[in-house]
Amino acid sequence: MIMASCVLGMMYHISDKFEEYLKVELKKREIPIPSKHFGLFMILVNYNNKLEFKEIAEIWRKSKSTLCDIIAKYVESGLLEKEVCSLDKRNVYIKLTGEGLRYAEDIEEISMNYLEKATKSLTEEQRESLKEILFSMKENI
């Protein structure tokens, strides 16, 4: 049986190396989004560029007050916009602007490049199995 610390250590190492790679690529491409906020842009891209505020908080696992501050920063810089629901004013949607979408697409490309680098020695079948395993693990926690 594989020791838990070994598996979790590998997962941490992969995540840490991705963080380093992402920081370098963001700087190289002059993307004004710190690596710690890239998840927000990936969430919006994966949900058709528009999502309700409370759903973002749940998916990204951020408190609403923290998320409010982060979103305000990007609304002010023109990367995101807020849209109040006309039927229920309590519902606020967050969406990417054109510029925000361009940066999000760049971040997606950076992520894909890293994933290809990390899995280059795997067969397509192994990559698919890895993806299924990771999704299963995520559902378990």
| CATH number of the domain that residue 131 is part of | 1.10.10.10
Domain that holds residue 69: 4-140
Q: Specify whether the CB–CB gap between 83 and 93 falls below 8 A.
A: yes
Q: Residue 35: its pLDDT value, please?
A: 92
Q: How confident is the model at residue 125 (pLDDT cuts 50, 70, 90)?
A: very high
Across the range 2-16, mean pLDDT stands at 85
pLDDT band at 31 (very low <50, low <70, confident <90, very high): very high
Tell me the pLDDT tens digit for each residue of 91-107: 899 999 999 999 999 99
* Alpha-carbon torsion (27, 28, 32, 33), positive or negative: negative
**Number of folded domains in the chain?**
1
